[in-house]
Structure 1
């Protein structure tokens, strides 16, 4: 399967590239730097917000994946990140690719009916704008009915760690363990993400991954 992966050099994207490549998929790793996150994986430089470039690099893909993140340079991230996701959608539409799988955020996951992680007292102000940008992207994808998209939310805490192969899948509810913790390693998240690339089980829906 040919996978075009945007945001391939980031913490999560590099692990998705590693997992997909290890399973024998043909991965095109796309990033602004054009560097390959994994030895042997083909890489190219492109800005995911550049519609013409997106259209060029996704041609011939079986599935497009995005591990892009909102801007972290101190500027307001919501509008630029929404524009980036719109460019991705328009690019895959232009060449007839049907599937787009997206690394999402955890802030919009529900902790109770009608209440999200973002709504909780003490939600860190330092990551609020980024969390809202991810929520905006999810809201945008939910308006689409002509594309098989999947939005993959991680646990509240995702970081490099062991590849255990043991985790749980959910939907819109925040998954926590018996101690109330919500966490996943980036390596195990990548397993769940590539599983979804290979076998679509959540078309036009959000899925979540946690221990």
Structure 2
């Protein structure tokens, strides 16, 4: 399979690249500066908002993984949302795989976790932006799958074991970035959650 990964140098994106390469897929690693990524067949510099680059990348690959994140340094997050709105307007049949946020999952009564009273205020803006990006792609009718992490995601061990749930948190409060990538590649290779917003946790 040919898989392009935006955000290929990030905590999650780099692990998705590594897992895809481990399984023998041909990976295009995309970052703003085109930084070399071990194992990638192609390394490319591109902004997410560059629709012409996205058009080319989507046409050349079986799946495009969007593993970028909203600004976490206090800067504006609207450019992140606008970039997803821009690529949502590009016609493509290529499967899009969005790394979403835990806050976009729902409680049993249907409330988004990001909108619950106890949700940490410091993560609210980031979660709102991540969910708006998802809505832009969903509303455009893209062939979209969204995978959210557990409440906590951090580098750790690749165990290959995880549990999943659709739309709501799965059992377990954390997941390693390595096992998040395992779940992502499992889904890309053998789709079970195509068209859904699902989550994986250890």
Q: Would the TM-score normalized by the shorter structure come out above 0.5?
A: yes
User: How many equivalent pairs are there?
Assistant: 202
In 2: Cα distance, 1:128 partner to 1:75 partner: 14
Residue of structure 2 equivalent to 1:202: 193
Offset at residue 108 of structure 1 (A): 1.6
Offset at residue 41 of structure 1 (A): 4.2
In 2: Cα distance, 1:186 partner to 1:7 partner: 14
Q: SS state of the match for residue 163, structure 1?
A: coil
Residue of structure 2 equivalent to 1:155: 150
Determine whether 1:139 maps to 2:138.
no
In 2: Cα distance, 1:16 partner to 1:40 partner: 11
In 2: Cα distance, 1:65 partner to 1:81 partner: 15
For the aligned residue pairs, the C-alpha RMSD in angstroms reads: 1.7
Offset at residue 17 of structure 1 (A): 0.2
TM-score of the aligned structures, taking structure 1 as reference length? 0.88
Equivalent position to 2:115, from 84, 100, 119: 119
Question: What stretches of structure 2 of length at least 5 have no aligned partner?
Answer: none
In 1: Cα distance, 2:115 partner to 2:56 partner: 40
Inter-CA distance 73–40: structure 2 relative to 1 (3 Å threshold): same
Is the Cα contact below 8 Å between 1:117 and 1:123 reproduced in 2? Answer: yes
Deviation per CA, 1:51-104: give whole Å up to 9, x if none.
Answer: 122223333211111101112342221x2122111233334x2xx443111100
Question: What stretches of structure 1 of length at least 5 have no aligned partner?
Answer: none
Q: SS state of the match for residue 15, structure 2?
A: helix
Residue of structure 2 equivalent to 1:61: 61
Residue of structure 1 equivalent to 2:85: 86
TM-score of the aligned structures, taking structure 2 as reference length? 0.92
Is the Cα contact below 8 Å between 1:142 and 1:205 reproduced in 2? Answer: no
